[in-house]
Amino acid sequence: RGIGRPSNNGKARVYGVELGIDLPINSQLNLTSNLTWQDARSTDRLTGFYDRLLPGEAKLAWYTRLHYSASALGLWYEIDSRQTLYYDRANILPAPDVAQHSIGMEWQTDGWQLTLNLHNLTNENVEDFNGFPKPGRNFQLTITRAI
């Protein structure tokens, strides 16, 4: 009925490949990327659920972050993408593919760190459960003092 709730799916079979890279482009610019492809399927013999993709598990997920740092200041951009995802065990309710963009800056000096992040720049409507959206565009300010 479109109402999400956690449940034990019984048995599952998961195959996949994950590739990651952490590439320093130069002394100030770094690229981090992770690509995951998985085939996560139910092996529960209940009618309608056998050999279906597990709900909430994307078939393809990709994350990339470009980070620039100069002295005490750092700037970054990231994209987090998920494709081929279902809300339910029977794979009747597909979740839309999503790509969320975020930017941020950080400043560090003398044991202090100030971080300002802007997540979900394009204000994508993302739902973990059908009908229950996460917050859209949001800001995060963090001040940390090392002791």
pLDDT in tens, 71-121: 899 999 999 999 999 988 889 989 999 999 999 999 999 899 999 999 999
Q: How many residues are given for the chain? A: 147
Q: What confidence category does residue 3 fall into, taking pLDDT thresholds of 50, 70 and 90?
A: low
In terms of pLDDT, which residue wins out, 47 or 39?
39
Backbone phi and psi for residue 122, each to the nearest 5 degrees, phi listed first: -90, 5
- pLDDT greater than 80 at residue 2: no
- pLDDT greater than 90 at residue 62: yes
Task: Give the pLDDT score at 126.
Answer: 84
Task: Give the pLDDT score at 7.
Answer: 65
Average pLDDT for 115-128: 90
pTM score above 0.75: yes
Half-sphere exposure of residue 87: CA atoms within 13 angstroms, side-chain side:
19
Report the C-alpha dihedral over residues 3, 57, 96, 79, rounded to 10 degrees.
130
Q: How far apart are CA 13 and CA 44, in angstroms?
A: 10
Give the pLDDT confidence of 72-85 residue by residue, as tens digits.
Answer: 999 999 999 999 99
CA 83, chain centre distance (Å): 11
Q: How far apart are CA 141 and CA 47, in angstroms?
A: 48
| Token output for 12 | 């599952």
Backbone phi and psi for residue 62, each to the nearest 5 degrees, phi listed first: -140, 130
Amino acid at 11: K
Task: Give the pLDDT score at 19.
Answer: 97
Count the neighbouring beta carbons within 10 Å of the beta carbon of residue 41. 20
Give the pLDDT confidence of 15-31 residue by residue, as tens digits.
Answer: 999 999 999 999 999 99
Element (H, E) at 61: strand 60-70
